[in-house]
Amino acid sequence: MSFSSLLTARWKEADSLLCVGLDPDPHRLTHHYSPDADGIEYFCIDIIDATAQYACAFKPQIAYFAAARAEAQLERICEYIRSNYPTIPIILDAKRGDIGDTATMYAHEAFDRYGAHAVTVNPYMGGDTIEPYLVHPKGAAIVLCRTSNAGSGEFQSQLIDGKPLYQHVAQRAADEWSNKGEVALVVGATYPAELAEVRAIVGDMPLLVPGVGAQGGSPEDVVKNGANSHGTGLIVNSSRAILYADSVDPMPAAARVARETRDALRAAR
Amino acid sequence: MSFSSLLTARWKEADSLLCVGLDPDPHRLTHHYSPDADGIEYFCIDIIDATAQYACAFKPQIAYFAAARAEAQLERICEYIRSNYPTIPIILDAKRGDIGDTATMYAHEAFDRYGAHAVTVNPYMGGDTIEPYLVHPKGAAIVLCRTSNAGSGEFQSQLIDGKPLYQHVAQRAADEWSNKGEVALVVGATYPAELAEVRAIVGDMPLLVPGVGAQGGSPEDVVKNGANSHGTGLIVNSSRAILYADSVDPMPAAARVARETRDALRAAR
């Protein structure tokens, strides 16, 4: 199944817009887990089991695995999700961006090695560097548009022909890239007005929205500004607020925060 | 030693501006090498030995290692360079770009895990996402400015306040980011006029220039347009033209093409 069909079915099945981000920092794990690659694996498996019923997607952030020499562990985590929760799509958050031949290698890594259904990519190098992800038979590209960090406006908000750069990216995604394969966009919850502008440009396209939880974005604002014509269209990510909800007994707390975040997103519809 | 001091010493020691890119595609290796992670390792070690005397830097492209499950091999390749050619800096071509906490993980990966002296990074998310690489005690950031691919102008050449986006990136690198740590820029050999414009903005800052060799950029144009006030300042990368110079006996051909490219860059000074 394609990313979009899997996602659409999961939005309905779970009645949830919440994406659980897997950003396992070995120094923030409780004493149940060793602060290394193996501890990361067991922690992520436990988080997945604790939160799956509330999730429309899982999003492993590859930097945390790369820094801990945990690529084999990430492979097993993705395999665990596909085997045990086959209706939940996996988004590999890798923010790839490189020229054609190299991008083809990154697409192979994301979709064949890790078995992800979508990968985040950076548009700075242009549409020809996004195409290898779109044409891969198994994958989808989720393109950075307006990111959640404080400094994201430094280039993304600069005006080109009277419109900010991120709106040009959104327009290109809607008009061109979506003709070549499955595409979605990243827009931070920390910029709700921009989220509404992007939604107006891209129709019903899925939007991956980081920045609720630890980064402070409001679930209500996200849904009011970002939902599509079906009341879905959103993959609202929370990572740290769920993973590190309790420093003594993390899993019940992770489940509780995931359920509460899902419910806050539901209530805003 | 810092990246810039290592690089400056190596430019002088080797009298070379050539960077040898390590982009090992398992399907392009000759029958001497198995088309897998181990074959990649042995091939890269042979390329390093064949070309080191002509190189001012080595630049492994991490996508090729990630696609082949060859992270351990990449660690050993970097260790091999540091042990056997300690005066040659290693640039990890990874084009990272992510928010602060995550960028810190990527910096740890590049500088501590792989022991690279510099890593390529993407500026789309803003200067706050570049800072973690600059403040790392061991590392330098080489920021994408005007890339070598055909579609790089799609966003990079768009005018903001009358100047193309890539010039704003160059200005920011020169005025702000360079105050926080060591910074360099990527400008493609395929755009020699833009290379001259960037050089005029950034003073003597090092420029990593991909796009000679297989991509068709001219060594003469690169040196005439890109050299700094010392006649250096350039890290001119060639990957495929060296790695795949001969499909029967690759190493003597790789050495010959590396020497010829170094000589063409020398002759243009």
Rg (CA), chain B: 17
**pLDDT tens for each residue of A225-246:** 999 999 999 999 999 999 999 9
Judge whether A206 and A4 are in contact, CB under 8 Å.
yes
Q: Over chain A, what is the mean pLDDT?
A: 97
pTM for the full predicted model: 0.97
> Which of B102, B156, B167 is the mutation pick for testing A, counting most A CBs within 10 A?
B102
Buried-state track A204-240, b at ≥16 Cβ within 10 A, e below 16: ebbbbbbbbbbbebbbebbbebbbeeeebbbbbbbbe
Q: Which of B61, B108, B165 sits opposite A155 (nearest CB)?
A: B165
pLDDT at B213: 82
pLDDT at A196: 98
Cα dist from A197 to A4, A200, B157, whole Å: 22, 5, 24
Q: Residue A252: is it exposed, middle or buried by C-beta count within 10 angstroms (0-12/13-18/19+)?
A: exposed
B175 touches chain A (CB under 8 A): no
**Which 72-91 residues of chain B touch chain A by CB within 8 A?**
none
Judge whether B269 and B231 are in contact, CB under 8 Å.
yes
**How far off is chain A from B2, nearest CA to CA, in Å?**
21
A21 touches chain B (CB under 8 A): no
Percent of chain B with pLDDT over 70: 100
User: Who wins on pLDDT, B216 or A132?
Assistant: A132
Q: Which domains does chain B have, with CATH numbers?
A: 3-267 (3.20.20.70)
**How far off is chain A from B13, nearest CA to CA, in Å?**
31
**pLDDT tens for each residue of B42-54:** 999 999 999 999 9
pLDDT confidence band for B269 (50 / 70 / 90): confident
Helix, strand, coil percent content, chain A, rounded in steps of 5:
50, 20, 30
Q: Is the pLDDT score of A6 beyond 90?
A: yes
**Within a 13 Å sphere around the CA of B52, how many CA atoms are in the beta-carbon half?**
16
pLDDT at A165: 98
Element of type H or E holding B90: none
**How far off is chain A from B149, nearest CA to CA, in Å?**
6
- Please answer yes or no on whether B158 and A168 come within 8 Å at the CB atom: yes
In chain A, what residues touch B156 (CB-CB under 8 Å)?
A: 124-126
pLDDT at A216: 87
Query: Which residues have CB under 8 Å from A179's CB, separation 6+?
Result: none
- The catalytically annotated residue of A95, A138, A180, A224 is A95
In chain A, what residues touch B102 (CB-CB under 8 Å)?
A: 23, 61, 63-64
pLDDT at B132: 97
**pLDDT tens for each residue of B110-156:** 999 999 999 999 999 999 999 999 999 999 999 999 999 999 999 99
B64 touches chain A (CB under 8 A): yes
pLDDT at A199: 98
Task: Tell me the count of A-B CB pairs closer than 8 A.
Answer: 162
pLDDT confidence band for A269 (50 / 70 / 90): confident
pLDDT at B1: 85
Q: Residue A45: is it exposed, middle or buried by C-beta count within 10 angstroms (0-12/13-18/19+)?
A: middle
> Which of B62, B155, B180, B190 is the mutation pick for testing A, counting most A CBs within 10 A?
B155
**Which 214-253 residues of chain B touch chain A by CB within 8 A?**
none
Q: How many residues are given for chain A?
A: 269
Nearest Cα residue in chain B from A109: B67
Q: Is the pLDDT score of B60 beyond 90?
A: yes
pLDDT at B198: 98
**pLDDT tens for each residue of B147-186:** 999 999 999 999 999 999 999 999 999 999 999 999 999 9
**pLDDT tens for each residue of A175-191:** 999 999 999 999 999 99
Q: Say how far apart CA B117 and CA B190 lie, in whole Å.
A: 26
A148 touches chain B (CB under 8 A): yes
Q: Is the pLDDT score of B204 beyond 90?
A: yes
- Please answer yes or no on whether A109 and B71 come within 8 Å at the CB atom: no
pLDDT at B34: 97
In chain A, what residues touch B36 (CB-CB under 8 Å)?
A: none
Q: Is the pLDDT score of A250 beyond 90?
A: yes
Q: Is the pLDDT score of B238 beyond 90?
A: yes
pLDDT confidence band for B216 (50 / 70 / 90): confident
Q: Is the pLDDT score of A88 beyond 90?
A: yes
Phi, psi of A249 (to 5 degrees): -125, 80
Q: Which of B102, B123, B156 sits opposite A61 (nearest CB)?
A: B102
**Which 99-138 residues of chain B touch chain A by CB within 8 A?**
99-103, 105-106, 108-109, 113, 122-129
> Which of A106, A154, A169, A215 is the mutation pick for testing B, counting most B CBs within 10 A?
A154
Element of type H or E holding B99: none
**How far off is chain A from B109, nearest CA to CA, in Å?**
4
Tell me the average pLDDT across A68-78.
98
Nearest Cα residue in chain A from B61: A102
B69 touches chain A (CB under 8 A): yes
